[in-house]
Amino acid sequence: MATQSPIINVMTNAAIKASRRLVRDFGEVEQLQVSQKGPADFVSAADLRAEKTLVRELENARPDFGFLLEEQGEIHGAGRSDRWIIDPLDGTTNFLHGIPHFAISIAHQKDGSIVSAVVYDPVKDEMFWAERNRGAWMNNKRLRVSSRGDFSKSVIATGIPHHGRGNKSEFLHTSARLMPQVAGIRRMGAASLDLAYVAAGRYDAYWELDLKAWDIAAGMLLVTEAGGFVTDYVGRAKVLDSGEVLATNDKLQLPMQKLLQTSRRSVAERAAQKKSAG
């Protein structure tokens, strides 16, 4: 059985407390689907309630820590070296539509590096957690990324550009090249869980653009502590700033990087040719 450190206990306890109301609110959202007004305002309130619970619990346990929050932005702590990076409801659109796939994501960042992470799926009661140099776990089960190196046996996760977000041309080019090669492509709508699933070996790789730090901070550590890699499309580690994420096992890292880079190059060349022709 895995022994959780005091900091992980603080994080998991906060996630569990916030999840209780979140799950109750999710039941209400399912009922609101039939109303004409719709559940959007209710979900925003649920998001804020969860975030306030997390802030309260974490602040009580570590009063000197700062925060980077999806809803409230950055809050500086007395001690400038530590902060929490929190997404109280990752998968808001799923929640909004009564789809039971969402999570609470909490990362502890110390001196610029993520050192502890929790991603909690309250519907399935799956608590993913990791600490730097101590491995990654789901409840009490040790996690390892998959060992698949053949695209034909691999399931790849992604996010699909929508409503003004993402690069549609680049995504379509990448997907068109991947689809004939892989066992499947999945779009589930919660980046923190996509990363957790790579850590658990459920997915073999995951790529997406235009993500925020609170979407990926915790999930990144899960993947690396499970033996995987998290970089941008060209292999750089500064993904919290860029929001460009590729998470893989060791066998798929280079093939996925090559495919993504080739797609980006092709789309850029086509755009340049179109512009010069016009």
Q: Convert the pLDDT of each residue in 112-132 to its tens digit.
A: 999 999 999 999 999 999 999
Q: What is the pLDDT of residue 36?
A: 42
pLDDT, one tens digit per residue, over 245-275 is: 999 999 999 999 999 999 999 888 887 777 7
* Nearest alpha carbon to residue 169 among 276, 273, 265: 265
Residue 47 has pLDDT above 80, yes or no: yes
pTM, rounded to two decimals: 0.93
Cβ 86 vs Cβ 48: under 8 Å: no
* Nearest alpha carbon to residue 69 among 210, 211, 221, 214: 214
Mean pLDDT within 66-91: 92
Banded model confidence at residue 174, pLDDT cuts 50, 70, 90? very high
159: tokens are: 């996010």
Q: What is the pLDDT of residue 1?
A: 61
Q: What's the CA gap between 215 and 191, in Å, rounded?
A: 6
Tell me which of 163 and 86 has the higher pLDDT. 86
pLDDT over 90, % of the chain: 72
Cβ 58 vs Cβ 13: under 8 Å: no
Q: What is the pLDDT of residue 83?
A: 97
Domains defined for the chain, CATH in brackets = 6-142 (3.30.540.10), 151-277 (3.40.190.80)
Torsion, Cα 24 28 29 30, to 10 degrees, reads: 100
Q: What is the pLDDT of residue 73?
A: 87
Banded model confidence at residue 93, pLDDT cuts 50, 70, 90? confident
Q: What is the pLDDT of residue 32?
A: 62
Q: What's the CA gap between 162 and 143, in Å, rounded?
A: 32
Q: Give me the amino acid identity at 96.
A: L
Q: What is the pLDDT of residue 16?
A: 98
Mean pLDDT within 138-152: 97
Q: What's the CA gap between 95 and 161, in Å, rounded?
A: 19
Q: What's the CA gap between 167 and 57, in Å, rounded?
A: 38
Determine how β-strand 66-69 pairs with β-strand 82-90.
parallel
205: tokens are: 């790789």
